[in-house]
Chains A and B, each alone.
Chain A
Amino acid sequence: MIKLLAPVDKAEEAEELIRAGADELYCGVLWREWLLKYPVAALNRRPSPIANLKSFDELKKCVEIAHSYGVSVNLTINEHYYTAEQYPLLLKFIEKALDTGVDAFIVSDLGLLLTLNEMSVGVKIHVSTGGVAFNSEAVNFYRELGVSRVQLPRHLTLGEIGEICRETSDVELGVFILNSKCANIDGFCTFMHFSSQDPMFHNACMLPYQVYVESAENDEKKIVAGVRQKVWERFHIDDRPCGACALYEFNEFGLDYVKIVGRGYPTLKKIVDIKFIRMLLDLLKNNPSREEFRKVTRQLYSRIYGRPCRVIMCYYPEVMKNGEGNLHNETL
């Protein structure tokens, strides 16, 4: 059965998240020593203080709570790259993390992955979506480097995910299921994630832009095309992306886990998200038809989040196609 991977940012919320239905937890840690030396260059992809445990002691406490329920804790060290100059501090961070008893490291940078292999760290290595495994060869590339799990990029269709599941073995595969449908491919996006409330430092894909269109097409088409380019800045304001309808297919594929994005979210939001997906995973055990499952999923999504399904917020919008190949939401 598909496992549910959920974010944790405070040791005190770990138990609630597990009781809500999380099978595994993942997290980051803020480390004062790192921040002092690298106040801008982050240690993981979510540098905000609210998106991280505050110390290794807190991580250790979180691990102890999780392990008492038989739940593993995976630590993100998933910045896209680290320089050689950063390694002395990075290796110190890794040693401290190992002392807490974490179960796995989630990494993006090939340099770090290879370094961890040389160190024989004794914990599992998971490749983050930042590792950008778009095909079976890439998954096998990581498997051969000893990776036990690969998080597939957001930007794959259901058909493409199914194919990778069929063509690979001896490595766990997972996908995103809720929240933060990045406009761009995470592992190939070189914009910076800032930790700031200042609108000037919002993520680059969320900023308002003036758009100038260069094209030989007529003015009417150019205007429509220009408006289209502003789509993300509107939708990030109402950011409730979901891929839950596709759990049906993921179950058929034999996918190993789904991941809820949400480091930095309030505990209550995390619990709501976990319960939503847990209910659907439980529903799959009753072998519903695809149509029944989709219907229940859409009703639940609408009731819980107070929004209808929309293509832009759908992780796998092909599930929104009706029998005639049109997008389902056009008739909603």
Chain B
Amino acid sequence: MEKAIYITKLCELPQEKENNDFSRIYFGNEFCERLLPTSEELRAVIDFATERKMEFTLVTPYVTNKGLERLEKLLSLLAKETSAEVVFNDYGVLRLLLRKFGGLEPVMGRLLNKMKRGPRLMNLIGMLPETSLAYFRGSSIEVSAFRNFLSKNGINRVELDNLLQGISLNLPKFGFSASLYIPYGYITTTRNCLAIDCDVHGKEDVVGIFPCKKECQRYTFYLKSKAMPITLIRKGNTIFFKNETIPKNLDEIGIDRIVYEPNLPL
């Protein structure tokens, strides 16, 4: 089982004693283009990985045209250095990768794998008929047209969240591998970020796509509701859940890599 560590900031780079645990480093951001690393930061993490003989994966978010421009610069830098993996969470990013960066290896991100993560599903789990249960543990990845598309475009790996309801896939049957993110799964994300100006009295109702001061780096919110079986965690523009229990059917699913998130990936 390959072990990777996923960081979003330089200050999260693993200490020397932790390095031996991980053979790969994930770096970047899946949820906000404003948190894309600078070229210098990317350079520093590539160097860190190279010096320690670690493999490298760049994680990318959904992006506007402006974000895509910034991302293209990062991809250019990466393509000069390595044949690293790039996790895409936006079909526009995939198109860019296929058009201009054939040397980089595309990996389908967890945002494009639309399996339901809403924890309230666990309130119903015992009552669901087998067909519905199979749906909530399944994915469109196994649909033949989708599989053919992935294979044709050189996408051999997909990223998975550790679903509370479990996962029932058989990806090796179709030649795919999967990575499992532990312990934080994402549930939903927004550009109407509730971290923006969140501590400014009088702006509570001013919600939109506005400039920010990266308040997400200073606040984390825990949301509890009687309707939810677990606590939701809101960091910046994204809501996460936590699930540390490793599924027993890793081999059957095709999971050959654990992506460890030491912190909420934002």
Which B residues are CB-close (under 8 A) to A131?
91
Q: Is the CB of B208 within 8 A of A40?
A: no
Query: Which of B63, B121, B205, B207 interacts with A192 by CB under 8 Å?
Result: B121
Once the chains are docked, how many angstroms separate the CA of A134 from the CA of B65?
8
Bound Cα distance from A157 to B211, whole angstroms:
12
Q: Inside 8 A of A217's CB, which chain B residues have their CB?
A: 199, 218-219
Evaluate whether A211 and B120 lie within 8 angstroms (CB atoms) in the complex, with A109-B140, A191-B188, A227-B204 already known. Answer: no
The digit string for A174-212, where 1 denotes a CB below 8 A from any CB of B, is 000000000111011111101000011110110111111
- Distance of A221 from chain B, by nearest CB (Å): 4
Is B220 a contact of A135 with CB atoms below 8 Å?
no
Cα distance A211–B234 when bound, in Å?
10
| Closest A residue, CB atoms, query B31 | A188
A207 to B225, CA, bound (A): 7
Quick check: A214 and B220 within 8 Å, CB to CB?
Answer: yes
Q: Does B114 contact A (CB under 8 A)?
A: yes
Cα-based distance from A229 to B207 in the complex (angstroms): 11
Q: Which residue of B lies closest to A136 (CB)?
A: B65
Which chain A residues lie closer than 8 Å to B198 at the CB level?
224-225, 228-229
Check if B94 sits within 8 Å of A141, measured CB to CB: yes
**Cβ–Cβ contact B192 & A183, under 8 A:** yes
Number of interface residues, chain B, beta carbon within 8 A? 78
Asked if A211 and B221 make an inter-chain contact with CB atoms under 8 angstroms apart, the answer reads: yes
Asked whether, in the complex, the Cβ of A134 is within 8 Å of the Cβ of B62, the reply is: yes
B90 and A140 form a contact (CB under 8 A): no
What is the distance, in angstroms, from B111's C-beta to the closest C-beta of chain A? 5
CB-defined contacts of A140 to chain B, threshold 8 Å: 92, 95
Tell me the smallest distance from the CB of B35 to a CB of chain A, in Å.
15
Question: Max chain B CB contacts within 10 Å: which of A132, A134, A221?
Answer: A134
Contact of A209 among B128, B201, B225 (CB under 8 A): B225
Q: How large is the interface on A (under 10, 10 to 19, 20 to 34, 35 or more residues)?
A: 35 or more
By beta carbon, the residue of chain A nearest B94 is: A141
Q: Are B65 and A163 in contact (CB under 8 A)?
A: yes
CA distance A110 to B152 in the complex (A): 14
Residues of B within 8 A of A115 (CB): 143-145
Q: Does A268 lie at the interface of the complex (its beta carbon under 8 Å from any beta carbon of B)?
A: no
Given the interface pairs A138-B90, A204-B120, the reply to whether A215 lies near B135 with Cβ below 8 Å is: no
Asked if A257 is at the interface of the complex by the 8 Å CB criterion, the answer is no
The closest CB in chain B to the CB of A207 belongs to B225
Residues of chain B within 8 A of A236, CB atoms compared: none
- Tell me if B77 counts as interface (CB < 8 A to partner A): no
A188-B62, A204-B120 given as contacts; is B145 within 8 A of A155 (CB)?
A: no
The answer for the CA separation of A331 and B200 in the assembled complex, in Å, is: 18
Query: How far does the alpha carbon of A139 sit from the alpha carbon of B91 in the complex, in Å?
Result: 9
Identify which of residues 78-105 in chain B touch chain A, using a CB-to-CB cut-off of 8 Å.
90-96
- B189 lies within 8 A of A192 (CB): no
When distances are taken between beta carbons in the complex, the residues of chain A under 8 Å from B114 are 80-81, 109, 187, 190
Contacts of B234 in A (CB 8 A): 229
A167 adjacent to chain B (CB < 8 Å): yes
In the complex, which residue of chain A has the Cβ closest to the Cβ of B206? A311
The yes or no answer to B74 lying at the interface (CB within 8 A) is no
B interface, CB within 8 angstroms of A: 62-68, 90-96, 111-112, 114-118, 120-121, 123-124, 128-129, 131-132, 134-136, 138-146, 148-149, 186-192, 194, 198-201, 203-210, 215, 218-228, 232, 234, 239
14 further A-B contacts with Cβ under 8 Å, apart from A83-B138, A167-B65, are A39-B129, A40-B135, A41-B136, A81-B140, A114-B146, A134-B92, A184-B190, A192-B120, A201-B120, A209-B225, A214-B222, A217-B218, A217-B219, A311-B206
24 pairs, A vs B, C-beta closer than 8 Å: A38-B131, A39-B132, A40-B124, A81-B115, A84-B143, A85-B131, A85-B134, A85-B138, A112-B140, A114-B145, A134-B92, A135-B68, A136-B68, A141-B92, A187-B114, A189-B187, A205-B188, A207-B228, A217-B199, A224-B199, A224-B204, A228-B198, A231-B205, A312-B206
